[in-house]
Amino acid sequence: MDAVLTAFGQVLQPQVFFIIVAASAYGLMIGSIPGLTATMGTALLVPITFFLDPIPAIGAIVAATTMAIFAGDIPGALLRIPGTPASAAYTDEAYRMREKGQVELALGVNMLCSTIGGLVGVAVLILAAPQIAAVSLGFSSYEYFWLALLGLSCAIFVSSSSPVKGVLSLCIGLMLSTIGIDVVMGVKRFTFGDTELIGGVSIIPVLIGMFAITEILRKVARPSRLPAPPPVRLGAMVSGVGSTIWRFKGGVARSSLLGSVIGALPGAGADIAAWIAYALSKKFSRSPEKFGTGYPEGIVSASSANNAALSGAYVPSLVFGIPGDTITAILIGVLLMKGITPGPMVFVMDTGLVNAIFAVFIIANLLMLPLGLAAVYGSRRLLSIPQDILFPIILLFCVIGAFAANNTLFDVWVMLVVGLIAFVLEENDFPLAPMILALILGQLVEENFMKSIIKADGQLMEFFARPIGGTLGVLTLALWALLIGLSLYRAARTRRAASTGD
Amino acid sequence: MRMNDALIGGIFVLLSVIILFAVRGFPTLPDQPYGPGTFPTIIASVMMVGGLALVWSGVRSHAPLLVIADWMRGSATLHRMAWVPGFVVAYIYLSKPIGFPLLVPVLLGAFLTVTTGKPVRAAIIALLGTGALWLLFAYLLRVPLPLGLLTEVIY
C-alpha cells in the first residue's frame, strides 16, 4: 500500500501533474486534428521529454497518447475523418449516428469506453507485467535473442503489406542500428569517417523524420479544407451513455481484454486492435445486420479496444524492452536516453519507476473524462484551424526538435534524409513499423546473438538447448515458415488469377 | 511516386553488396570467425534475398518503372512539396550565419505564403510562430538556438 501511495505521490507532485495535464491537452489537440497521428505526436514530444526527468517524461508520453487515441474519435464522429488511424475502424458507424442526430451519444460512448478500455489495459499491465518479469529474470542471451527476433517477426506478420517489404524495412532498421561503435570489439562501423556517427544514429531525428516529415510532405502536397463541424450539446454527451454501455457490457469486457492482448503483440497497436474488435463484435452480435447503420455496439467494442491496446503495449516494453507498437518503441528510445534499460531488472531495481508508470496510466485515463469533454467542446475551434497554416509550423518544430537533443545540425540532416527515404518507402507500400522496431531493438538483437554464438562456439543447436529459449526459437521459425508459406501461396494465387484473366 | 518493385529491389541488392564488401575489412575475435562484421553480414544476406525476390516479382509484373501518383501531379504540388526539403536545407546552411530570430520569420513566412497564398496573414503567423517556438525552446528548454547576426548586437 505504501508503494502505491508513494507512486501516486510522485505523480501528483504539482510540477509532474502540470506536465501530465499539459501533455494531455497536447494529446487531445494532436488526436482531434486529422492528419496528426498519435505516433507523430509522440515523436514530436520526444525532443521536449529529453529535458525532463524520467517520470514526468514517461507521464507526458503516456498522457498524450492516451488522449490522442480517444480524441481521434472526435473528428471521426463530427466530420467522418478519423483523427488518428486507430479510430478508422468505426468512423463510418459514428458518422451514421451523427446523421441520426446522435452525435453526442456517439462521442460520449467513445469517451467512456476509451476510459474503461484504458483502465482494463492498465489492470492487465499491473497484474501481468511483474509476473512475467519474475519468470524472465532467468533469461539468458539465448532467450533474449529469440524473444527480440520473435518480436520483430511479429511486426512483419501483422503489417498489412507484403512480407518481403516488411523484411526489407526491418533490414534497414537493423542496418541503421549497426552504425557506430560495435558491441563486441568496439570497432567503428559504417561511420564514413564522420565523427558525428561514432555514437550511432540518434533516435530523435530518425523518429521525427519517419513519422512527421513524411506526413508533412503528404499534407503539403494535398491541402484539404475540413468541412464545418456541427454544434455539439455537452449535456447530451452524458445522458444515455451509461445505459448504452451497460447494454453492451459483454462487448466492452471482451474488447478491452482482446485489445490489451493485441497491444502486447509486438508491432500490432491500437489501430489493428480496433479493427479486430469491431469485426469480432459484429460476429458475436445478436443483431449484426444493424452494424454500419449507426449502431453503437461496434463503437463500444472498438473504442474500448484501441485504448486497451495502448496500455497492453507496455507489457512487453517494460518487461523485455521489446516494444509492442511504434509508440512504445519511441518510449523505449526515451528510456534508453535517460539511462534506464527496460527489462525484468527494472521490476527489481526500480519498482518506484514501474509503480509511477502504472499511476500515470490510471490518472491519465481518469483525466480523460473531464478533459475529453473540454476537448469536444473546443473541437469546433480546433477543427477550423486551416491545415495549410499548421504544417509549415510543424515543420519548423521538427527542425528545432531534431536539433535540440544534441545541439547539432547534423541531426537535422539525418531527419531530412530519413524523412525523404521513409516517404518514398511508404509510397511503395513498405511498412515503417518494422523499421523503427528494428532500429530500437537492433543493438539488443546483435548483442545477444553475438554473446550466444560465442558461448555456443558456433554450434547453432545450442540456441535451442534451453527449454524456454528453444520454445521461443521454434515459435520464431514456425512464424517464418508461415510467413514464407503465405507469401508463396499469395504469389501463386495472383499468378493463377492473372493467367485466367488473360 | 510508385517505383517498379524491380527498381527498388535492385537498390536493396546493390546496398547489400556494398555492405558485404565493406565488412570484409572488419577484424574478428582472436581464434574465432566472428566479429563486428558477423551481424551486418547476416542482415545484408537477408537484404539481398529480399531484394532479389522484389526484382523477380517486379520483372514479372511488367509494371512501369516509375509512376507518379495522381495527387502528386501538377507543378504547383511538386513546388509545395519541394519547399519541405528546401526549408530544412536553408535552415541548416543559414541558421548559423544569419541567426534563428532573423532567418526563421522570413523562411516560415515564405513557406506559409506558398501554402496559403496570403502574404500578410502568413507574415503575422510566421512572426507569432517563431516567437512561440523561441520561447519554448530557447527560453524554457535552454536550447542554444543560433543568434547569428544578432550576436554582436546583443553582446
ipTM for the whole complex:
0.92
pLDDT over 80 at A498, yes or no: no
Give the burial class of A481: count Cβ atoms within 10 A of its Cβ; 0-12 exposed, 13-18 middle, 19 or more buried: exposed
CA distance A72 to chain B (A): 24
Q: Say if B147 is an interface residue toward chain A (CB within 8 Å).
A: no
pLDDT over 60 at A404, yes or no: yes
- Nearest Cβ partner of A51 from B85, B141, B144? B141
Q: Say if B8 is an interface residue toward chain A (CB within 8 Å).
A: yes
- Nearest Cβ partner of B40 from A175, A409, A428? A175
Q: Say if B51 is an interface residue toward chain A (CB within 8 Å).
A: yes
Main-chain phi, psi angles of A224, to 5 degrees: -125, 140
C-alpha cell read off for A356: 509511477
Note the pLDDT of residue A235: 75
Note the pLDDT of residue A379: 83
Q: What does the pLDDT average to over A319-326?
A: 84
**Every domain of chain A and the residues it spans:** 2-501
Note the pLDDT of residue A363: 93
Q: Which residue has the higher pLDDT, A41 or A268?
A: A41
Q: Say if B4 is an interface residue toward chain A (CB within 8 Å).
A: no
CA distance A409 to chain B (A): 6
A211 secondary structure, DSSP code: I
- Nearest Cβ partner of A171 from B35, B50, B144? B50
> Among all residues of chain A, which has the CA nearest to that of B25?
A189
> What is the full DSSP assignment across A383-399?
HTS-HHHHHHHHHHHHH
Which residue in A285, A382, A361 sits closest to A318, CA to CA?
A361
Best to test chain B binding among A48, A220, A409 (most B CBs inside 10 Å): A220
pLDDT-based confidence at residue A336 (cuts at 50, 70, 90): confident
% residues pLDDT > 70 (chain A)? 98
Rounded Cα–Cα distance for residues A483 and A481 (Å): 5
Instruction: Inspect the interface and report whether the beta carbons of A409 and B95 lie closer than 8 Å.
Output: yes
pLDDT over 90 at B88, yes or no: yes
Residue B142 backbone class (left: φ over 0; alpha: ψ -120 to 50; beta: rest): left
C-alpha cell read off for A228: 464545418
pLDDT over 90 at A170, yes or no: yes
pLDDT-based confidence at residue A160 (cuts at 50, 70, 90): low
Instruction: Inspect the interface and report whether the beta carbons of B34 and A458 lie closer than 8 Å.
Output: yes
pLDDT over 70 at A469, yes or no: yes
CA distance B40 to chain A (A): 7
CA distance A271 to chain B (A): 25
**Every domain of chain B and the residues it spans:** 2-67, 72-154
Q: Which of A221-230, A303-312, B44-53 has the lowest mean pLDDT?
A: A221-230
Q: Which residue has the higher pLDDT, A232 or A117?
A: A117
Instruction: Inspect the interface and report whether the beta carbons of B143 and A167 lie closer than 8 Å.
Output: no
pLDDT over 80 at A237, yes or no: no
Note the residue count of chain A: 502
% residues pLDDT > 90 (chain A)? 23
Note the pLDDT of residue A500: 66
Note the pLDDT of residue A502: 46
Instruction: Inspect the interface and report whether the beta carbons of A393 and B89 lie closer than 8 Å.
Output: no
Note the pLDDT of residue A1: 64
% residues pLDDT > 70 (chain B)? 99
Instruction: Inspect the interface and report whether the beta carbons of B29 and A167 lie closer than 8 Å.
Output: no
| Interval A65-115: pLDDT, tens | 999 988 888 888 888 888 888 888 888 888 888 888 888 888 888 899 999
- Nearest Cβ partner of B36 from A182, A213, A403? A182
C-alpha cell read off for A473: 526459437
Amino acid identity, position B115 = T
Q: Say if B148 is an interface residue toward chain A (CB within 8 Å).
A: no
Instruction: Inspect the interface and report whether the beta carbons of A48 and B144 lie closer than 8 Å.
Output: no
Amino acid identity, position A85 = P
Note the pLDDT of residue B71: 72
Q: What does the pLDDT average to over A446-454?
A: 89
Rounded Cα–Cα distance for residues A4 and A120 (Å): 18
Q: Which residue has the higher pLDDT, A267 or A435?
A: A435
- Nearest Cβ partner of B46 from A167, A184, A217? A167
Chain A residues inside the 8 Å CB shell of B38: 450, 453
Instruction: Return the bridge partners of B32, or none.
Output: none
Q: What does the pLDDT average to over A260-280?
A: 85
Which residue in B91, B114, B93 sits closest to B104, CA to CA?
B91
Q: Say if B52 is an interface residue toward chain A (CB within 8 Å).
A: no
Instruction: Return the bridge partners of A181, or none.
Output: A188
CB A79 within 8 A of CB A226: yes
Give Cβ neighbours of residue B80 (< 8 Å, ≥ 6 apart).
A220, A221, A223, B114, B115
Q: What is the dihedral of CA A497, A500, A501, B3, to 10 degrees?
A: 40
Q: What is the dihedral of CA A47, A158, A317, A416, to 10 degrees?
A: -20
Note the pLDDT of residue A421: 95
Going from the C-alpha of A228 to that of each of A79, A384, A385, A386, the distances in angstroms are 8, 7, 11, 11
Note the pLDDT of residue B44: 95
Instruction: Inspect the interface and report whether the beta carbons of A491 and B91 lie closer than 8 Å.
Output: no
Rounded Cα–Cα distance for residues A241 and A93 (Å): 16
Going from the C-alpha of A360 to that of each of A335, A404, B57, the distances in angstroms are 15, 26, 48
Instruction: Return the bridge partners of A171, or none.
Output: none
Note the pLDDT of residue B20: 93
Which residue in A178, A142, A176 sits closest to B36, CA to CA?
A178
| Interval B101-120: pLDDT, tens | 899 999 999 999 988 888 99
Note the pLDDT of residue A167: 92
- Nearest Cβ partner of B69 from A184, A400, A427? A427
Q: How many CB atoms lie within 10 A of CB A283?
A: 9
